[in-house]
Amino acid sequence: MILALDIGGSAIKAAFARDAGSIVQMGRIETPRNDFSAFVETLRGILAAAPERPDAVSISICGVVDIETGKMICANVPCIDGRVLDADLSEALELPVSIANDADCFALAEAGLGAGQGHDVVFGIILGTGVGGGLVVEGRLANRRGGYAGEWGHATILATIAGDPPLAIPHFRCGCGRMGCVDTIGGARGLEKLHMHLTGQARDSREIVVGWAGRDEAATRTMEIYVDLVAAPLALAINITGASIVPVGGGMAGAPGLIPALDSAVRARILRKLDRPLIVPAQCATEPGLVGAALLGLDRFAYA
């Protein structure tokens, strides 16, 4: 049995899995963010609550494993930042431990049990508060040992002219320290920033999307420019990876009309010509972080 954990800055969700068709959720508990001993004790408590002692632990986490050092980069849970977390937890829990980024686990879940089933190359993207992504090739993560594959949200790549008629758009500073990253525009906070720049109005991302659906002129202009800006780097990522399906998760994915608009704009920009949707809503019904962690563990520990 695999114990799957989805660890975020506010909560740890847990499930156990004996195979890909049997992933059973166990509940959630607050994440101890600043005390590693408390963090470990919380995981031990989850282990004790499992129906049997698992053979391994597999974790989806809101951070990245540095591929050269093996250390975690995780601002949301400071007590694990800088640790070789798989080794530390394996020693503390006396079990094998695998760890992957949460966007990677989302992509793995969609490839295995969601919209990516039957596709060799699945590029799963997150449009939430910010922008993320993960790449799965022939059922396995490109990031098998960690790293940044699929992170299309961070590079100085955004256009500075967008929309019809064209309008100059500045490069905003990103949280990663660069200027002009997709993350500065592509997530909910970025959409709000873009709308403020274009209109001078401070509006919640949900209000902007609702206004777009209701044909509000200002909201419509913002969303047209948003789609224009985001579609180009997404098309580039698809050309580079060869992805044949791009499931979308995160809060922005539920915005009415957004995924079809992105799909149309992206398909007009890629080399491959498709008469079917390429950018699609995520379909994995269960928590994708848990599903992805479970599938990761089942594969790595030879249970699949």
Q: Does residue 138 sit in the same domain as residue 164?
A: yes
How many domains does the chain fold into? 2
Give 227-258 pLDDT, tens digit per residue: 999 999 999 999 999 999 999 999 999 999 99
Query: Considering only CA atoms, which of 177, 181, 202 is closest in space to residue 192?
Result: 202
Residue 211 lies in a domain: yes
Residue 203 lies in a domain: yes
Q: Does residue 187 sit in the same domain as residue 84?
A: no
Residue 137 lies in a domain: yes
Residue 108 lies in a domain: no
- Section 281-297 average pLDDT: 92
Q: Does residue 132 sit in the same domain as residue 207?
A: yes
Residue 198 lies in a domain: yes
Q: Does residue 179 sit in the same domain as residue 257?
A: yes
Q: Does residue 140 sit in the same domain as residue 242?
A: yes
Residue 46 CA: distances (Å) to CA of 78, 92, 194: 21, 14, 42
Residue 110 lies in a domain: no
- Write the CATH number for 75: 3.30.420.40
Q: Does residue 135 sit in the same domain as residue 261?
A: yes
Residue 226's pLDDT is what?
A: 98
Q: How confident is the model at residue 211 (pLDDT cuts 50, 70, 90)?
A: very high
Query: What residues make up the domain containing 275?
Result: 115-281
Query: Considering only CA atoms, which of 204, 205, 179 is closest in space to residue 258?
Result: 205
Residue 191 lies in a domain: yes
Residue 38 lies in a domain: yes
Please confirm whether the linkage preceding 51 is cis (ω < 30° from 0): no
Give 32-76 pLDDT, tens digit per residue: 999 999 999 999 999 999 999 999 999 999 999 999 999 999 999
Q: Record the pTM.
A: 0.94
Q: Does residue 199 sit in the same domain as residue 290?
A: no
